[in-house]
Structure formats: structure tokens, C-alpha cells
Amino acid sequence: MKSIEKSLNLSLFVSLLIIFVVFWMISVFSIHHLTEDYVVTRLHHDNDSITEHLKVEPDRLTINLNNINPIYSRKDSGHYFVAKVSLRTLASPSLEGYPLYLKPIHRNPEVYETLGPNKQTVLVRAYQSEFHGKTLTLYVAEDHSPIQHMIHLFDIVFAVLTLLSLITLYLLQRYLLQNGFNRLTPINKTLQALHKGKAVRLIPEDYPTEVTSLIESLNQAISSATALLEKSRQSNANLAHSLKTPLNIIFQISDSPILTDYPELQKTLSEQSQKILRLIERELKSARLASGMISMIPFSLKVQNTPDASPSDLEDLLSSFAQLYPQRHIEVIDNTEQKQLPLEKEDGFELLGNLIDNACKYGNHHVRLTLNGSDKQLTIQVEDDGTGVPPEAVEQIQQRGFRLDEEQPGHGIGLSIVKQIVSAYRGNIDFQLSELGGLSVTLSFNLDND
């Protein structure tokens, strides 16, 4: 799955890179040609000055050096000229005999670069014109090495500044994109909270206008899921109520003295009734699992700090077992600040109820409930001081209908329901030998802190 943020970052970076490269090339090209045109313009002016003071004598060309720029008289000054009329040639004293390369003129004027005295890089402007009825070819040159050096320095500085600007703009655009996408992060956190059983509604005003329609659709989906869950729970309750009466009648018939003379029929009727009861309990308890849907009320571990607060769900559960098993001492060790179990209330009652009920049934005198947790994980351990479970029977006791002790009441579906609930909420369950001597069942759940 592609990331929109990464795709936008890459696209914008490539776009910025292309724009900056084009901008850099145009700028460098413009600066180079601007400086060259500036030097050529100066050479053109010197060309006019030299032509104006040039004289053609019968056997040679002469010029009054006092009437032109004195820089042409100074050796290796960087300013040179060579004039040619027919077979007559006149070179500036600054050349001092250096054979300057005189390129044939194919276009007028001809501008080219060549090597000058002392390995100077000179720019030459060659121009042909009519002079006293003859053709005058004048080569005017200037050493532009200092200008070239400054241009190269400018190129480096400009390239560095361009690169820094590109990096700065890229980091700025990345920061702005991250800020924009971070505004969508609460949507993901809200969906995770919904998945873990918290009833949350998205507020469109808290998100960008571009996702308003998405927020409205999600809110509609949440409302529909909530209504569907309520309807499902109500249907399950109605089903349980409607089946309870006819099933009780069947139990009464199976225990009736009328069937005493028909033991086989009585046994078959009793077995099938028990089977129907187990199927009903299995389906109803499976349907009641709220993991992955919109939970109504979480199972409370502690009393909330509110006026007239009633006992927590855990206290209600422990109070019920204290009355049901008065001969058992149920010890609670609370090492966590968590106030809620990350399960729907009914699922919490079903989960802990089965574990504590089994511990009270199979324990001798002592049952211990230990709560440990941090901001990220909650661990619940239920132990008893009974005879325990052999290692080879750990998997068996989790199977529906399997019972180690046939003398104890029940249908053998408690631990399988526990395992089903823990799995539905993506928790972990571990069976070990307790320090008290009996079975130790440890549950762990990841918590959502958002």
C-alpha cells in the first residue's frame, strides 16, 4: 500500500529539483553571456578608437599611441590589438612580439577565445571594415581571466545557495505535509479505539474540510454498528428468554416419575436436553462478545471518583462469589492504577466469573486474584490452592465439554468460553502451576492510552 505523504514528498521534491536546476542553468547562462557581452562591447569601443587613429603609409601601418588607451602600450597589460590592411600588419606594443592567434573571419564581427601572453585567456573581437578604399581587419583582445574567475566563484556560491534553498524548501514542505497528515492521525486513533471497544464519535470540526465527507460516513457507520449491536444483544436476550421455558419443561419431563419405567428414553431425553443447553449457551455467549464492534460500557475494576458512586463491577462480582462460596477466602492483590478492564462489561463478567468460579470449585480454601499493569498492558492472575492440573491436561481443559472432575457441577464449557473471549479481544492466556498448589491462569491485555 502506497503512502500518500511519501508520494507527495517525492513528487514535490522532484518538481522542486527540476525547477531549481532549470533556474540555476538559466541564471548561470545569463550571467556568463552578460559578462561576455560586456567585454565584447568594450572591445567594440576600443575597435572604433583604434580605427579612428590608424594611418596607412606606403610601406606600413602606424598609430599614435598617445591618442588611444595607454594600456595598449604596456607589456602584458591584458589588452592587445592587431591591425591588418593588405600585407601591412600592426600589433600593439603590449603584445611585444607574441604571435596572437588570428582566426579567419567567417562572420563579421567574429568573437572567439584564445591564449594570450603569459598563458592569459583572452577574448578576441575580430572585425572587418573598409578603410581608405581597402579592407581593414582589426583584432582587439582583452584578458578576461579575472572576470572568468569571479564568474566561476559566483557559479559555486550560487550553486551552494541554490542547493541550500532546495533542501530548505524540501524540509519545509515535508514539515507542512506532516503537519497536514498529523491532523488525520486522530482518525486512526479513533478507529483503533473503536476496535478495542470504546464508543467514540468523530467531530468534523476537528479535521480538515477535505475529509468532512469521510468523517460523516464513519459517524454513520459507527451509529449503524451501535444500533446493530444493540439489536443483536436484544435479540439474543429474547432468544434466551423464549427458549428457557420450553427447555425447563423438557428437563421436568425427563425427571418425571412417568419415565422411570423407560430408563433408556429418560437417559436419551436428558442427554439431548443437556446438549441443547450447551448449544444455546455456546451461541449466546459467542454472540455476546463485543470485540471488534462498538462497546457500550467497559468492565470497571475500581470505583470511580464520583459522588454517590456505586461499587465497581469487580466488587459486585467478588461479593457474589463471597456469598456463593462462603468457605473460600478470596484474596485480591491490586498493583495497578487502571480503573477499567479493556472488555465490554458483560464479557468481563463472563471472563472473570468463569475463572473465579473454577478457582472456587476446584480450590480448597484460598483463591487469589492479582492485578498488575502499566499504561500499556494489564495482567490478571487467578490462582487456587487445589490439586492443580497436570501439564498434559492443560490443552484438554480448554476444550469445550472436557472436565477433569466429573463430580463438580457444570457443563465443561467455562474455560473454553474464557479462551474464546481472550482471543476475541486479542489478549493472551497462560496456564501454569500456582504457588498456592493449584492452577494459575494469567490473562494479559494491551491497553489503548489514547
Q: Are residues 134 and 272 in the same domain?
A: no
pLDDT band at 346 (very low <50, low <70, confident <90, very high): confident
Q: Are residues 311 and 433 in the same domain?
A: yes
Answer yes or no: is 99 within a domain: yes
Query: In this predicted structure, what is the pLDDT of residue 329?
Result: 92
Q: Are residues 353 and 277 in the same domain?
A: no
Answer yes or no: is 314 within a domain: yes
pLDDT band at 389 (very low <50, low <70, confident <90, very high): confident
Highest mean pLDDT among 40-44, 282-286, 292-296: 40-44
Answer yes or no: is 63 within a domain: yes
Dig out the grid coordinates for 367 from the structure. 483463591
Q: Are residues 279 and 303 in the same domain?
A: no
Q: Is the pTM of this model over 0.85?
A: no
Q: Are residues 277 and 353 in the same domain?
A: no
Domain count of the chain? 3
Answer yes or no: is 182 within a domain: no
C-alpha distances (whole Å) from 59 to each of 62, 85, 86, 96, 138 are 10, 11, 11, 21, 18
Query: What mean pLDDT is predicted for residues 392-409?
Result: 52
Q: Are residues 217 and 350 in the same domain?
A: no
Given a cut of 60, whether residue 80 has pLDDT beyond it is yes
- As to burial, measured by CB atoms within 10 angstroms (0-12 exposed, 13-18 middle, 19+ buried), residue 152 is exposed
Answer yes or no: is 177 within a domain: no
**At 438, which CATH number?**
3.30.565.10
92, containing H or E segment: none
Q: Are strands 439-446 and 377-384 parallel, antiparallel or unpaired?
A: antiparallel
Answer yes or no: is 422 within a domain: yes
Closest CA to 36 of 151, 153, 155, 159: 151
Query: What mean pLDDT is predicted for residues 262-272?
Result: 79
Answer yes or no: is 202 within a domain: no
Q: Are residues 246 and 343 in the same domain?
A: no
Calculate the dihedral angle through the C-alpha atoms of 114, 118, 120, 126, rounding to the nearest 10 degrees. Answer: -40
Domain boundaries, position 84: 4-150
Q: Are residues 98 and 224 in the same domain?
A: no
Q: Are residues 314 and 283 in the same domain?
A: no
Q: Are strands 61-63 and 428-433 parallel, antiparallel or unpaired?
A: unpaired
Among residues 101, 126, 150, the one where a domain terminates is 150
Answer yes or no: is 248 within a domain: yes
Q: Are residues 15 and 141 in the same domain?
A: yes
